[in-house]
Amino acid sequence: MIFALVGGMLFTNAQEKTKGDYVKVGDLIQATLYHDNGAVSQEGFYTKQGKLQGVWTSFDQEGNKTAEAHYENGEKTGKWFFWQDNNILKEVDYDNSKITAVNTWKIQGERMVSSN
């Protein structure tokens, strides 16, 4: 269940960071957070109550996508993806902030093969 911990750390830390841009978009606040080198660290939305909402995307310091998460009023939901350096993609399904399934995919040439 390392993904519960990792997923929580990747995206809830966005609430603790102060280095970023925040823009009101309708009823939401769009956040763009940055690494110390100025590269985008995370992008996503907050509700007016400060809860994570919709798609949140994380990037490494070189701009490579490392994770994509989905929130509904602060609850983890739907499919989350974690890209790893060794051509591995972790797919984690959430329902009401609880993990319901984990799949591991390995990129082999032009296709992805399940490692489960």
* CA angle at 53 for the pair 49 and 105, rounded to the nearest 5°: 150
pTM of the model: 0.77
Domain boundaries, the chain: 2-114
Q: Label the pairing between strands 78-84 and 88-95.
A: antiparallel
**Rounded Cα distance, 31 and 17, in Å:** 10
Amino acid at 3: F
80, 91 in Cβ contact below 8 A?
A: yes
Q: What is the mean pLDDT of the chain?
A: 85
**Rounded Cα distance, 4 and 8, in Å:** 6
Largest CA distance in the chain: 44
Per-residue pLDDT at 12: 44
**Rounded Cα distance, 116 and 104, in Å:** 6
pLDDT tens digits for range 59-87: 999 999 999 999 999 999 999 999 988 78
